[in-house]
Structure 1
Amino acid sequence: MRRSLQYKRTDDPIDDDANDTIHVVNAQGHADEEAQLLRTEELEFEDNELLARGLQTRPRPRGLWGFLCGPEPPRVQAIRPYFPALQRSPIKLLEARRLNKPISLIIVLLLWFLIFTWFLAAQLPIRNDDNDSVLNLDCVDTLWRRKNECGVNGIDCRPFSNQSFAFRCPAKCSDVKLLNPHFVGPLEVNYRPLVIGTGQYRGDSFICGSAIHAGILNDRKGGCGRVSLLGDHDNFASTKHHGIESIAFDSYFPLSFAIAFDDSFRCSSDPRSALLPVSLLFTAALAIFTTSPKIFFPIFVLIFAHVSFASDPPSASYRNITVLPDHLSMFAKRLLPALFVALVVYSTTVKRTLSGLTAQFDKALFWLGGFWIGALSNYTFDWIPLSRLTAHDLKQQPGAELALAIIILILVVIIAGQVYHFRLEGRLLRYLGLYGLFIFGIIVCLVIPGVNLRIHHYILALLLLPGTSLQTRPSLLYQGILLGLFVNGIARWDFDSILQTSDAIRADARLDSVIPKLLVPTININDGGLVVAFKYGAHPTGVDGISVLVNDVERDRAFYDDGLDGAWSNFEWTRPVDTTGPNEYFRWAYHAVFLTAAALAPSLVPRQELSGKMCPAIPVCPRWDACVATATNGARFQMKCLTDFNGQVIESAQATHFVDCADACSHYPGCLAFNMKDGFCYLIGSNTGSARTATVVNAGVQIKAATHSDPIHGSTTCSAGFDCPDNDGCLYATNDKKFYAHCNYDYYGGDLAIRGTDNLTACTDICATYAGCVVVTWMNGMCYLKGPNTNLVYNTLVDSAYMMSSG
């Protein structure tokens, strides 16, 4: 049975706002568990009617309105600390030593500032032995600029070779991914790092991501290296190293680069790892050793500075020698308006939650802990597949819609709990009115023509923060997380507008513009080689020009005002009459048009002549649906365009061509079908499942078993060295050790060291003398020495060798 309540004033100060509080006590003078603290200093939407009527109870309305009004008298929520003596001990310690003075806070903040700036000194400019400045790169910086900004033939991105420079990258670049579809030859890639190649990378690859993939940088600490421009290169291989899976490209590109260590200068690590415990320690001390809710402001500034300079700093100017001036400028620009918002949030929400709270460790654990969880959202929430809350992004990002549905479900549960406690305090109706205004404002934004509503996470935090103005442990956690999300959003991205045009949201995504009309090309052979002539049809209204990209490089521009009299001119492309030359990929405007192998490489034919519809070297869907390809062991596979088998995946392989996926499946025991997507083959066993219609997945199914088995490893010897794939499985002896060739396979993981060699044989010779090396993988001049902890992945661009077991 609940005890009767009476109200009385108390003069026992809890904090600097204690004189603005009323305590609810029972007849014996003990605070009631559910009604301890009733605030009198609130904004207009707070419920002060009880105090205004002299704390008189009122008749409770009946029906739904009475239910929404809550109990009478209101049951104000307050946290009763566990182990109250322990939780009050930090405050008593300061009082006993007379340290509860403003000067103590100033000394603590000054000490934090000195330590913080000392760690940031690692970002000052550095020079190498040649007195050249080391350039700072952002995680998305490339040598080849995006959106065709390099001009025709890449003229604005020269030089392509004979240049090098030292660079420094921040930490956590492996998590930076493409957020819009990006074409790499025949592939459309998205939501992955743009790293193309292995050892030698395509010019439009992320430099920092490539350095991590090459093993030059540590993703957790960042670091330095040297980029060397190597000019034209073809056949960029795909491998997975150090957490990044690179993208394959089977043709040429005018700019490539390699990355190596640079020992000519001392490179400091990214300070974020060292600064995190420092900032955590000082903010925890402020939360534990103070009771005033105004401590919110120094904690807010400390965490804002940590995000701005350490954990998630904004992008700096391109190729600068130090990021500090840019970061200081943006910090000052964003902090002042953020503090104004913080003042409003404090007055309406934080002050009510923290006033009178004596559970110091609860405050540090739930409120401050939640604050850090939100502020470090680029770490804590990065695993959630949600990048931007727009309809376009939700549809194109895998798992985004499901993740959003789960988040909404969690929010519904949380909101239900908060609504219950607001009702107990008699404030539910006022807050329902407040959120009604929020919803009305959102609806108004949705109907404004010409712009799109974009709810940034800092906006979401501001919308939900009023619903946490309760003194309960869950509210402490929710409020802390939302404050952290606000800080992270502003410190990293600034006050981005909630109303944006379609162009601003699209950024570098496809425009979905009208597709150019192409007539059937003509192919001729003359003394200069093979000439392909493309004729364009009449252009649509409103179009002024057309751009032609070959292998993702702009090669020609034509404009209607060039005197073409209503029709576009021809575009001619010449290439050598070479039966083994690389494929070439053409794109007009923003639409990918891939010619079949017969158009530009007539010598590329199926591996074996078969009756019926034969797959070319690179079959294009849906034109080549149901074509047949033959693997090297005689197995035959039929192509199923826009099909996804939902059977159990038993293994994966790296390959970009249908016949190579078929080869991988034919050599894997039990594989009867496969799905192809983004340069990977997903091998499926005997239970292929149902064939589902897909938009970006093609499949293959076995229609004839292999006619001959793979060679038994060790059945032949190759004393002069390996020559893949001709002597696959042969035995090679070097330095009293024996190795088997394993052509077209990559032993992923277990990397010990990387060396540059001319061939697989030389790579194996090094392994025979390298301690712990039992496997080698060789690709494009790069030799990867590996230990025993590896995974076998089929890859037609890679050859390997493994040591014969001593047993």
Structure 2
Amino acid sequence: MEPLRQNTRRLGTERYHDEESEIDDRQALDSSRSSLDDRLDSTAHLIDGNEDGYGDYGNDAGQERYNPRYPDLGPRSYWRILMDGPEVPKEPHVTMIFPKLQTYPNTIAKMFPTFVKRTILVVYLFMWSLIFMVLANESILSSPMIGDEHADLLRCSAVPQVWYGKNDWCGLNGEDCYGSNTGKVFRFKCPADCIKESWTYSETPVGGYESVYRPYVIGGNNTYRADSYVCGAAVHRGIVSNRAGGCGMIRFTGPKLNGFISEKSHGIESIGTEAEFPASYEFLDTSGLSLSGCYDLRVIIISVNIILSLIFGYFVSHPGLFLYGLTIAGFWTVILASNPPLAGGEELADAELISLGFRRLLPALLSTYVIYGFSTKPQLKDLEANFSRMVFWVSGFWIAILENYVFAALPLDRLTPHDLNAQPGAWLALIILVSVVLSIAIGQAYVIWRLGKFKPYIQYYLLVIALLIALSFVPNQTLRMHHYIWTLILLPGTGFKTTPSLFYQGLLVGLFVSGVARWDFDSILQTYEQLRRGAPTFKGGFAKFGEPAIIEGGGVLKNITLLWQSLSDARQSDESIDTAWDGYSLIINDVERYRGRNNSFNITDWAIQSFGNLTESIALTYYVRVAFAEIVGSRTGDYTRAGKIVLNTGEWKVPPPGAI
């Protein structure tokens, strides 16, 4: 038994010495590695000098500095260098300009316990919300009053309560529209910025002229055609301010037989035409009436929100709280101040705005969560550059929230071939814009390469490009890169701690918020019908005028009968003619005057019956357009462009090719 115990003690002693020797060997190896790391760190510091906005990858809390990511396989190829980045990745950092200002919020935060800081934050957000609600209520949510009567809140463009739209939208002789009710008074409130917002974006006929990319205001000297946009005309007349909006009253004054003058006033040049129109309106004086809730306070609201958000962005360092706070503030600023999506004068327009806002807010916040995870958290977590975050991130955010002002001078509407060709200077502006974006992308790509993450990012963007190319080939669809789509695509490339990345991310998040708040989550694929904005459908075939039959009359006028191609003749030569067409619609001076099955119309008899004995003092020039139509139903095909007929001379001008 004793020999067994002695052998056991001997074995235990040998095992102890072996373990002690192994520990000594490990310590020696660690010491050797540490010495090697120190030498390599010193060499890397001498090479980089920490002068280029980048630091060594990793930190001093135990992460191994020298850890070659690739085995020694000899010199790396250019392709491997491009895809894999430098052998020792470089972590970017924000340049600490004004160091004391950068770290001041952190110094202040250490002076207070967590409960106090949270209380201050809650009170600050509550006061901010309260100020915003009071101003928004006075600006857009309270019911505007003129005297004791309610005024309708309008948008700057078409007003369905007054005139539904062009061509046959108001029915025969325009009788379906409120504007044809002579003597009626209409009270209204207009928002601010109606000079630009009263433009038309598809060709809209005014006699022989086609209005596009300009305010749709016809007339002057306080006499306006009834289909003129009311708020644009109110700015033109000086009734409301382009900067602060205002309230007004119009009275419908019946037919205007000798046309409408063109006049430049208050930043708008109105459209003139010699053609008559069955309805017009004039503005009434409201100086003796009390007005309440009439002014648009968007300038004050925007200014207050920018100032309070700068303070918020300086002291709030938590990435999630920072992002969601600014997103909600920017979202409601767009909805209720800078670019409200007014639908056109509902009786409860304020309630509709609130409902619409919450309908869009929830999916916007869910998208913000994705932005937070992929972009904002990696960039702002543990960021000590509080001053840079405030100056660059928050300023970029508000530049984008106010994109309808900041980028208003750019001759860009929508990035579709039709719109780019239609607006002068659009292609040049697009080329410049793409060049700027590409230069920024190259700078961000370099940051990504220095981090050693170029390969996954280039794979991501190549996949996105491939998907977009594939979507562009979907039949009968147009690829539409809305605000929110291309910002979501670009945002992952901004999630880095560099000063330019702060600005780029703020800008892109602001564009996302403003796009969703104003235009909602529109589809990336849209049909032509969804995009045409009142433009021709190019379906069902086109009618064609023939030479009119002109007979010399005994008086001032010639007896003129308009003629156009019959449906039977059209179907023999064009198989695309819709089988549902069984008649015709004739537009005279932008109002439907005939709907029936005859392919002729005596315009002289119609003019005498409508206006009595015509003389030289009354407009004798008429602009005519024709389309195929359903007589029983309400469908109408595309109208021809305007032909011109003069009753006293018999002059006939053939319509230009195309439809409108």
Normalising by structure 2, report the TM-score.
0.81
Deviation by residue 1:590-647 (Cα, 9 ceiling, x = unmatched): 21232354xx2318xxxxxxxxxxxx8x988999xxxxxxxxxxxxxxxxxxxxxxxx
Read off the aligned partner of 2:384 and give its amino acid letter. Answer: T
Secondary structure of the structure 2 residue equivalent to 1:103: helix
Q: C-alpha displacement at 1:128, in angstroms? A: 3.3
For residues 676-715 of structure 1, what are the structure 2 equivalents within 5 Å?
none
How much does 1:36 deviate? 4.4
2:303 to 268, 277, 280: 277
The equivalent position to 1:515 in structure 2, one of 542, 560, 563, is: 542
Residue 263 of structure 2 is matched in structure 1 by: 239
Q: 1:101 & 1:55 partners in 2: Cα distance?
A: 41
Distance apart, 1:52 and its partner CA: 11
Query: Is residue 2:206 matched to residue 1:179?
Result: no
Note if contact 2:205-2:211 (Cα within 8 Å) is conserved in structure 1. yes
2:422 corresponds to 1:396: yes
Distance across 1 between alignment mates of 2:58 and 2:378:
7
Equivalent position to 2:85, from 48, 52, 70 = 70
Range with bigger deviation, 398-407 or 98-107: 98-107
Residue of structure 2 in register with 1:156 after alignment:
176
Residue 255 of structure 1 aligns with which residue?
Answer: 279
What does residue range 100-499 of structure 1 map to in structure 2 within 5 Å? 101-122=117-138, 123=140, 124-129=142-147, 131-142=148-159, 143-147=162-166, 148-158=168-178, 159-176=180-197, 177-198=199-220, 199-233=222-256, 234-263=258-287, 264-267=289-292, 268-294=294-320, 295-316=322-343, 318-499=344-525
- Structure number with higher strand proportion: 1
Structure that is richer in helix per residue: 2
How far does residue 349 in structure 1 lie from its aligned partner after superposition?
0.9
CA contact (8 A) 2:187 2:249 kept: yes
Paired letter, 2:146: N
Letter in 2 for 1:558: G
* Deviation by residue 1:137-161 (Cα, 9 ceiling, x = unmatched): 1111332221422111111014431
| Matched AA of 1:252 | E
Identity %: 34
- Deviation of 1:37 (Å): 8.2
Any idea what the Cα deviations from partners look like across 1:486-515, whole Å, max 9, x if unmatched?
Answer: 111100010011111111111201234543
On the 8 A contact 1:153/1:555 being kept in 2, the answer is yes
Query: Using the alignment, how far apart are the partners of 1:528 and 1:594 within structure 2?
Result: 21
Shift of 1:283: 1.1
SS of the residue corresponding to residue 224 of structure 2 reads: strand
| Aligned partner of residue 91 in structure 2, secondary structure | coil
> Compared with structure 1, are the counterparts of its residues 81 and 522 closer, same or farther at alpha carbon in structure 2 (3 Å cutoff)?
same
- Asked if the contact 1:160/1:256 (under 8 Å) is kept, the reply is no
- Which of 489, 499, 503 is residue 529 of structure 2 equivalent to? 503
**Cα distance in 1, alignment partners of residues 143 and 56 from structure 2:** 54
Q: 1:66 to 1:493 in 2, by over 3 A?
A: same
User: 1:571 matched to which residue of 2?
Assistant: 601
Aligned to 2:10: none
8 A contact 2:246–2:295 mirrored in 1: yes
TM-superposed deviation, 1:546: 2.5
Code of the residue aligned with 1:238 in structure 2: it is S
Post-superposition offset of 1:237:
0.8
Measured in 2, the distance between the counterparts of 1:113 and 1:362 equals 25
Counterparts of 2:58 and 2:363 in 1: how far apart (Å)? 28
Rounded to whole Å, the distance in 1 between the matches of 2:194 and 2:249 is 17
Paired residues of 2:401 and 2:513 also in contact (CA < 8 A): yes
Secondary structure at 2:165 match in 1: coil
Q: Give the drift of 1:82.
A: 1.2
How far residue 286 of structure 1 moved from its aligned partner, in angstroms, is 1.4
Q: Distance in 1 between matches of 2:95 and 2:429?
A: 36
Tell me the CA shift for residue 585 of structure 1.
0.8
Give the structure 2 partner of residue 535 of structure 1.
563
Over 3 Å counting, the alpha-carbon distance change for 1:74 and 1:217 in structure 2 is same
Q: For this pair of structures, how many residues does the alignment match?
A: 568
C-alpha spacing 1:126/1:218, structure 2 compared with 1 (3 Å): closer
Q: Distance in 2 between matches of 1:369 and 1:261?
A: 42
Q: How far 1:117 sits from its partner (Å)? A: 0.8
**Alignment-derived partner of residue 641 in structure 2:** 592
CA distance in 2, matches of 1:260, 1:461: 46
Q: TM-score, normalised by structure 1?
A: 0.66
* Structure (1 or 2) with the larger CA radius of gyration: 2
Is the partner of 2:231 in helix, strand or coil? helix
The RMSD of aligned alpha carbons is 2.9
Aligned mates of 1:37, 1:336 — CA distance in 2: 41
Structure 1's 5 and 522: CA in aligned 2 closer, same or farther, altered over 3 A?
farther
CA contact (8 A) 1:581 1:601 kept: no
Q: Contact 1:369/1:480 (CA < 8 Å) preserved in 2?
A: yes
Q: Which moved more, 1:495-504 or 1:142-151?
A: 142-151
Distance 1:256 1:580 in 2: 19
The one-letter amino acid paired with 2:200 is L
Query: How far apart, in 1, do the equivalents of 2:163 and 2:312 lie?
Result: 48
**8 Å Cα contact 2:642-2:655 kept in structure 1:** no
Question: How far apart, in 2, do the equivalents of 1:193 and 1:179 lie?
Answer: 10
Q: How far apart are the structure 1 equivalents of 2:263 and 2:37?
A: 73
**Partner Cα distance (1:481, 1:621) in 2:** 48
Q: Does 1:58 align with 2:70?
A: yes
CA contact (8 A) 1:338 1:490 kept: yes
* Structure-2 separation of matches of 1:90 and 1:31: 25
For residues 231 and 6 of structure 1, the distance between their equivalents in structure 2, rounded to whole angstroms, comes to 91
Q: Cα offset for 1:517?
A: 2.5
**Superposed CA offset, 1:569-608 (max 9, x none):** 32222234534431111111321232354xx2318xxxxx
- Shift of the 74–53 alpha-carbon distance from structure 1 to 2, 3 Å rule, reads closer
Task: Say which SS state the counterpart of residue 592 (structure 1) adopts.
Answer: coil
Give the secondary structure class of the aligned counterpart of 1:216. Answer: coil
Change (3 A) 1:6 1:415: farther
* Contact kept in structure 1, 2:564 and 2:600, CA below 8 Å: yes
Evaluate the alpha carbon distance shift between residue 54 and residue 256 of structure 1 in structure 2; reply closer, same or farther with a 3 A threshold: same
Q: Deviation at 1:102?
A: 2.2
Give the C-alpha shift of residue 6 in structure 1. 6.2
CA distance in 2, matches of 1:258, 1:6: 85
Task: Classify 1:110/1:620 alpha carbon distance in 2 versus 1 (closer, same or farther; 3 Å).
Answer: same
Partner of 1:761: none
Task: Report the residue type matching 1:368 in the other structure.
Answer: V
User: 1: distance between equivalents of 2:280 and 2:382?
Assistant: 63
Q: Does the CA-based 8 Å contact 1:164-1:227 persist in structure 2?
A: yes
Q: Is the Cα–Cα contact under 8 Å of residues 95 and 498 in structure 2 kept in the other structure?
A: no
Report the alpha carbon displacement of residue 472 of structure 1 after superposing the two structures with TM.
1.3
Moved more, 197-206 or 525-534: 525-534
Any idea what SS the aligned residue of 2:397 has? helix
**CA–CA distance in structure 1, aligned partners of residues 64 and 375 of structure 2:** 21
Q: How far apart are 1:407 and its partner, in Å? A: 0.8
